[in-house]
Structure 1
């Protein structure tokens, strides 16, 4: 709408003898309850006009109607000038902009961004929290790609540390050589089983020591199992052959399990990083920080940074025994990623319980003189709850990602069969449809909410073909494909342009025309919710158009051709938007 902004700037200069910039004007879509297409907020202009908002809006509206061919009429509601554009303008927008092959995508902007997501621990399978993380990271990466960025999707695997050693010790002590093959369990599930066993046995030992007179805190430190795990971690860092061999074997089981889950989720990665490789680099950075006086060493040999001047606190960066902590590894990882890709921006998709950690990490890197630290961003997101309550992996009450996917497919099957949407499908196509709908329901439900918000996930609510859901949008796409097939539509067919459009057709054109703007907004805010809610409104509007206007039985061939073209563009935009959310759309259902 640059032409309206330019005309408004001219109007202010002519009417009020004042030069203003286009950026100082606020342009927005007219609210549905008012007549008009575009609204100019008039309040800031009253200081130039020396008139009340209604009078300012009126004289501005009169000027614009006279000066701009595309503007048909205007009305003023308090301090808002609502402009109605001519049908001919929207018809031209459709043919010249929307009905073009490259609509809804941007050329390369020459910038590089890394999106790091998933970040699993190799002591347990992926769970519902990981699902939101993976879907959010993948979608943000796809949205940035569509905006012209070169995107690297990265996965930092937490494959070392005391929690990994807990699973290893438990398997050694209680596993009797059990393997994924002998147990029939996925490798990540098998290792997760021993993480739970460790916790149960550890609690038994704590209770036994408390019964012998130790305090809770003493018992936690003195329990034999935790001491063995700590000793194993030290041996691992010293390169003990037996410990390293066991670590590699169990990690391989986990990685095979992860890959299965990633495939089901439909997410992928361009680059993997492993904390077992990055923590040493972090130790080098700690040495550098000591030399520069950024860090200091306490009497026990532990290394810290004092951030109290910045309103934070003192932060441990290396333990007294020389073993690294999370911040050590993350310093090394950040440096490694920059050295490899020199990305303009690096986004870390991590839950909001780590907000403080990333604030400290980014601040330390800036204090160390890393200019690229300005491009680091923590995409913080809220936790996911189920009606049954919060999850705790060490207690074995976690909602496993594989189980959740299976449940979503079963729920999709139940809803699809009840509604008879796949009765004539071959069995293989049915099963594929259940997966597409189930995953579409899961992904859309998790992505339609702003990332920062905590959400309650209800599987049954998510698979509703009439609600604010993925399946509703998927069904709309399949409906459009059906219309196009019945109409024998081919994308290269040339139709005579129409001279006029109905109110609902105009509304649909306006919604489609806004797609690039919403795409840009989603990229700026790293928010798939922007795209999710846009495409829902588009699907709703298409269904209104479908019910109000005859497409295949239109009286004129020209009108039929236009409506088929409009349907085709709507289908393409829905498909593009859903792909950015990582959601497949079925060609029929």
Structure 2
């Protein structure tokens, strides 16, 4: 039982003893730095149950705690806040327990518990990954790692959108204008090559529209009747009919894209446990339409289309099958979710990492699955996130104005190199070591800049600002970690023994209190699906360590006890930074 839990019991006991009231809850918060104290009881929140002056109530409870709780050494009351001072021994004991626990803050995975499947990335195979995908990928991967750290088994997945008219557009443009070009012959990554032909299709399509308009077509007619579009639509029909030539080209060009995606995923340091393909799932769900009609979840209109009426739930009516019997995206998503639980029977919930423009879609999807009687529908979550903007504005795939993920990765590495050279921090490094470090710093900057923001908020991404070695950035935290490792390398004495008797410096105590919060931060981040909680906790920890470093001598401490303890404390802070950054998918360098 931690201090907060035991104090809660003791505060309730004090209120029962002094006011004969059974207090329902006790609210705690961190003590403000301008007042003495280690933890604060909010007296104001008790006034619903305890009648009286909040200052007097605080004084009464504080006096009771000093008398009856041996680790409470003092208190002060500021308005309706009771600030409690705890004996150093308590913090020392907690610190020594943390020192012995190599997995502090990280729960072992419950092998018998229900697993969670986290979906992220899920790109189209007609273009490379771009900046928008990067936010999706980093969020999904980080949430997966945080959920694992909270004790859950996790399957990381994506559904690759490998069919449809947009795929045929790239295929047709390559067929018309490619002259047999391949990734090998062009020297381009496969996803970039295919993306170039998607842009080429749009250029030719616009030309044909203008030609038709000049021949007296309306713009609307021209858009519908442009020959290149009609041919792409015919190609899609042939694909659906299994035309050998079209399917062969589809397989070839998709493989080029998959190979390109894999390179990008590797550079980003992310992975997947299983993959789903829309070409294999787009017919799923139709059997549940029939089942839903039998049970009354769905109803059929006069034209034969099938709908779900969600108006009583505050939503609208949603079509799940067209009049011609073909499925819609909603049907496919229902079928895919159910198929995943069939494939992985231990899955008890799913997280969908998808932009906030799809919020309504997921409300409808989750509700329909629930109405179909699947218990795990209660544990479906839409990890909704805002768009990523650049100083130059929005991105458009068709016009080729997106920020390519690979280009951004290279830009981040180049920016890290430029700033590192300006600071002169890498003397004595080999060229290979420098390149590896530039990648680590660049990726740390990119990931931290994106993940430190609440997922629901829109981001304006500035690559140069993200690589700053000062402020709330990844490189600032990485540099502090490297500084700690330098301290440990210089500590040429045995610091493995336990320190059990010592007066704590205020800076030491503040660091211990922050480290103690790590397990709770991990659980809160898992519950709220927010890597931002981990990122900003780590920044707070680093700021506190740097204040400690500047105000307290570590290797030059006056006593051997202080020297050993401060090296141990530095080591634990470093370990916590490393674990926290691992949950964000960020590496930390041993030297910088």
* TM-score bin (small chain): over 0.9
Displacement of 1:72 in angstroms is 1.7
Q: What residue in structure 1 maps to residue 199 of structure 2? A: 196
Query: Which residues in structure 2 correspond to 1:312-461 (within 5 Å)?
Result: 312-320=315-323, 322-342=325-345, 343-461=347-465
Asked if 1 retains the 8 angstrom alpha-carbon contact of 2:21 and 2:49, the reply is yes
**CA deviation after TM superposition for structure 1 residue 438, in Å:** 0.3
Equivalent position of 1:41 in the other structure: 42
Q: Which of 532, 537, 544 is equivalent to 1:541?
A: 544
SS state at 1:281 partner = coil
Matched, 1:252 2:255: yes
The range that moved more, 1-10 or 402-411, is 1-10
Q: Which residue of the partner structure matches residue 468 of structure 2?
A: 464
2:52 corresponds in structure 1 to: 51
Q: Which runs of 5+ in 1 are unaligned?
A: none
Whether contact under 8 Å (1:116, 1:347) holds in the other structure is yes
Q: State whether residues 495 and 558 of structure 1, in contact with CA within 8 Å, keep that contact through their aligned partners in structure 2.
A: no
Aligned-pair distance for 1:383? 0.6
CA distance in 1, matches of 2:198, 2:35: 60
Q: For residues 192-271 of structure 1, what are the structure 2 equivalents within 5 Å?
A: 192-271=195-274
1:341-398: CA deviation from partner (whole Å, max 9, x where unpaired): 2312210011111111111211221222222211111100011111000111111000
Find the aligned partners of 1:202 and 1:88 in 2 and give their Cα distance: 75
* 1:275 equivalent in alignment to 2:275: no
CA contact (8 A) 2:96 2:498 kept: no
Residue correspondence of structure 1 range 288-303 to structure 2 within 5 A: 288-298=291-301, 302-303=305-306
1:177 maps to 2:191: no
SS at match of 1:280: coil
Confirm or deny: 8 A CA contact 1:99 1:565 kept in the other structure. Answer: no
Structure 2 residue matching 1:344: 3-state secondary structure = strand
Secondary structure (helix, strand or coil) at the match of 2:37 reads coil
Contact (CA 8 Å) 2:89, 2:501: kept in 1 or not?
A: no
- Which region of structure 1 is more displaced relative to structure 2, 333-342 or 506-515? 333-342
Output the CA distance in 2 between the equivalents of 1:25 and 1:215.
70
Q: Is the 8 A contact 1:489 1:564 kept in 2?
A: no
Q: Which runs of 5+ in 2 are unaligned?
A: none
The equivalent of 1:83 in structure 2 is 84
Instruction: Specify whether residues 563 and 546 from structure 1 end up closer, same or farther in structure 2 by C-alpha distance, changes over 3 A only.
Output: same
1:579 maps to what in 2?
Answer: 582
For residues 517-568 of structure 1, what are the alpha-carbon distances to aligned partners after superposition, in whole Å with 9 as ceiling and x for unaligned?
1111111101000000001111111111111111111121121111111111
Q: Relative to structure 1, is the Cα distance of residues 31 and 365 closer, same or farther in structure 2, using a 3 angstrom cutoff?
A: same
Per-residue deviation, 1:30: 1.5
Kindly tell me: are residues 266 and 183 of structure 1, through their superposed partners in 2, closer, same or farther at Cα, counting changes over 3 Å?
A: same
Partner residue of 1:14? 17
Structure 2 vs 1, CA of residues 283 and 212 (structure 1 numbering), >3 Å: closer, same or farther? Answer: farther
Structure 1 residue 99, shift from structure 2 partner = 4.6
Q: Secondary structure at the match of 2:283?
A: helix
The two structures, once aligned, show a CA RMSD in angstroms of 1.8
Distance 1:71 1:382 in 2: 46
Contact between 2:27 and 2:45, CA under 8 Å: does it hold in 1?
no
Secondary structure in 2 aligned to 1:571? helix
The alignment partner of 1:451 has SS state of coil
Q: Deviations over 1:117-136 (max 9, x none)?
A: 11111111100010011111
In the aligned structure 1, how far is the partner of 2:218 from the partner of 2:37? Answer: 72
| Matches of 1:195 and 1:452, distance apart in 2 | 30
User: Aligned residue for 1:61?
Assistant: 62
1:435-514 equivalences under 5 Å are 435-488=439-492, 493-514=496-517
Q: Is the 8 A contact 1:16 1:48 kept in 2?
A: no
